[in-house]
Chains A and B, each alone.
Chain A
């Protein structure tokens, strides 16, 4: 069936509208995630632990790395880093730990979300051992020390000398996490 010019216009316009709706879910969201990953836009670090590349330690620079712990609303765990900052050379492994305790009488699952400031440093802060992006169950009154090992990349832009790694702890007990990127 041949379409009249008017109908062609209508079909094209409708298809555009539908395509734009799909665009939001299948282009904008994944694109945003990719962009964040590449640029460190929202300070989200790579979820996959970094496999250490043996590299020379750059002793000419000393980088201050600070650690923050925040509880999101409704999360009652005690949550704090073992130290508020460490000074390391790029390429050197820095280790510390985060302490968590579930003070309540219920089993819970927590999720710590990392964020780095300034953003440009995100891609240069590697974690060889970390607890981010994994759901962390803690039984009632259970406590845990979660180790964290980090390496600051030798390529960290010269103008950055201090960076901050922040973890926000969310209560995800009973939440069925569907990762948005995989939708």
Chain B
């Protein structure tokens, strides 16, 4: 595509439903991704509410164990593939072209496609809940043979929906790479790119590398179920442990796919509200790249208890511990950016500070988990649940909130209700900590994950966690209200509503016109 391929400049969007079905505009598609992701966040969240309601008290009261397992599985799948990933793709769609001075994404039609696959993929996934035998009940990690020989009949549809999500993600990633590598404005060298663009570039490479691996894993599951192969069936010469290797070879990079763009968002917001340039830009880029690299050689730390030879165990333990170094560099850089700045605490900054603190706590528990002998005690307990929710909720999700509150005036042209948004922050912050902090305790004390009922010694903390969970869940409706209110109206936002903000996205007016940078800006 040449730079002047878009010859119908400056016309507004089409009207009606077909605008959304046929759109190739990165802003439209970005918005659709964001709305879709929020819908999935609420759906996955309501499943979490079912889980927390069942665990509110010991005893089986609300759901049956088999349904409970479907809830934990679907909650994981929907949050990972439906909420967090599409939200980041939505932010990438909206912001990357504007940040690098491009008129649109490099492949606008494919962009439309990669979005519209998602609603179908998730409709299919959710429909399995209503099939005979129920939906997937083997955890989002679908370990064989529970997901092959012992799986419900709906597993075939689960596999198909994962394939669709994978295709969508890969297309999205190709688009991001093509856009960043080819559509940068003159003068926008790689080392001048905002960190959000950098982190997304690296994330896109991770996606291209590992989504096909997930596709391979589900294909093998499908073949084992229907085509008589024995990849994971020991009786036929296969090995159930192979599944775990393949899955985590995908799974560990996947968790970085969910956090690297968050690093990018935080690296944009903290300098803005510290009114000080980001400390150590270059080391930030290298840190992200080394985290991405390390993510490929640590997968077996999810499998310390399956029985890996000592040498392997030691290797994966050391490699995992190493991740603490680049991650530490990032945290130190953020803190150094704030140090001797001129700080103000608008909502995006509040979420970012919470991100740094709580993500670091999640990192600490991650470091503890990396110690193989101690992991024998932590593995598959609520300690792990606490750990990954600490890195995903205040990590990925708080960063998404921060990004939305940061760029919402740019998208809508209105300032949102700042008072309400601070209520949203504090309620989320308290709710989140109430939910997940006690999980460290019950996990250490011996409560395994994925159980619908528990011994009385875990009762108090579970009740606290459930109350926190309900609070966190309900608070997200407030977020919906704030966003709708902001879309509908509100005080007019300037082109650059934040005092300390830098970057091309703040050069264009608010709301950003339907087409931006049709003539590339000059970057000095």
Question: CB–CB under 8 A between A and B in the complex?
Answer: yes
Which A residues contact B (CB, under 8 angstroms)?
4-6, 9-10, 13-14, 16-21, 23-25, 28-29, 32, 36, 39-42, 44, 72, 111, 113, 119-120, 133, 168, 170-172, 175-181, 183
> Given A20-B209, A177-B230, do A13 and B173 touch, yes or no (CB 8 Å)?
yes
The reply to whether B212 and A18 form a contact with Cβ atoms under 8 Å apart is yes
Judge whether B16 is part of the interface by a CB distance below 8 angstroms.
Answer: no
The reply to whether A6 and B182 form a contact with Cβ atoms under 8 Å apart is yes
The reply to whether A5 and B182 form a contact with Cβ atoms under 8 Å apart is yes
In the bound complex, residues from chain A placing their C-beta under 8 Å from that of B213 are 20-21, 23-24, 28
The reply to whether B237 and A133 form a contact with Cβ atoms under 8 Å apart is yes
Judge whether B249 is part of the interface by a CB distance below 8 angstroms.
Answer: yes
Chain B residue nearest in CB terms to A172: B235
In the bound complex, what is the Cα–Cα distance between A19 and B216 (angstroms)?
A: 11
The reply to whether A10 and B178 form a contact with Cβ atoms under 8 Å apart is yes
The reply to whether B231 and A10 form a contact with Cβ atoms under 8 Å apart is no
In the bound complex, residues from chain A placing their C-beta under 8 Å from that of B246 are 24, 28
Q: Which of A14, A39, A41, A181 has the most CB of B within 10 A?
A: A41
Judge whether B234 is part of the interface by a CB distance below 8 angstroms.
Answer: yes
Chain B residue nearest in CB terms to A36: B239
The reply to whether A171 and B235 form a contact with Cβ atoms under 8 Å apart is yes
In the bound complex, residues from chain A placing their C-beta under 8 Å from that of B229 are 178, 180, 183
Contact partner of A42 among B1, B174, B241, B249, CB < 8 A? Answer: B241
In the bound complex, residues from chain B placing their C-beta under 8 Å from that of A21 are 212-213, 215-216
Judge whether B217 is part of the interface by a CB distance below 8 angstroms.
Answer: yes
Judge whether B12 is part of the interface by a CB distance below 8 angstroms.
Answer: no
In the bound complex, residues from chain B placing their C-beta under 8 Å from that of A111 are 235-236
The reply to whether A28 and B239 form a contact with Cβ atoms under 8 Å apart is no
Chain A residue nearest in CB terms to B180: A9
The reply to whether B178 and A9 form a contact with Cβ atoms under 8 Å apart is yes
Judge whether B80 is part of the interface by a CB distance below 8 angstroms.
Answer: no
Chain B residue nearest in CB terms to A168: B234
Chain A contact surface mostly: helix
In the bound complex, residues from chain A placing their C-beta under 8 Å from that of B228 are 175-178
CB contact list, B308-363 vs A, under 8 A = 308-310, 312
Judge whether B74 is part of the interface by a CB distance below 8 angstroms.
Answer: no
Q: 6 interchain pairs (CB within 8 A)?
A: A17-B212, A21-B212, A29-B231, A119-B309, A175-B236, A180-B231
The reply to whether B245 and A113 form a contact with Cβ atoms under 8 Å apart is no
Given contacts A25-B216, A175-B235, A179-B237, 8 further A-B contacts (CB under 8 A): A6-B183, A10-B107, A13-B174, A28-B213, A175-B228, A175-B236, A180-B229, A180-B238
Chain A residue nearest in CB terms to B238: A180
The reply to whether B242 and A5 form a contact with Cβ atoms under 8 Å apart is no
In the bound complex, residues from chain B placing their C-beta under 8 Å from that of A176 are 228
Q: Which of A18, A21, A183 has the most CB of B within 10 A?
A: A21
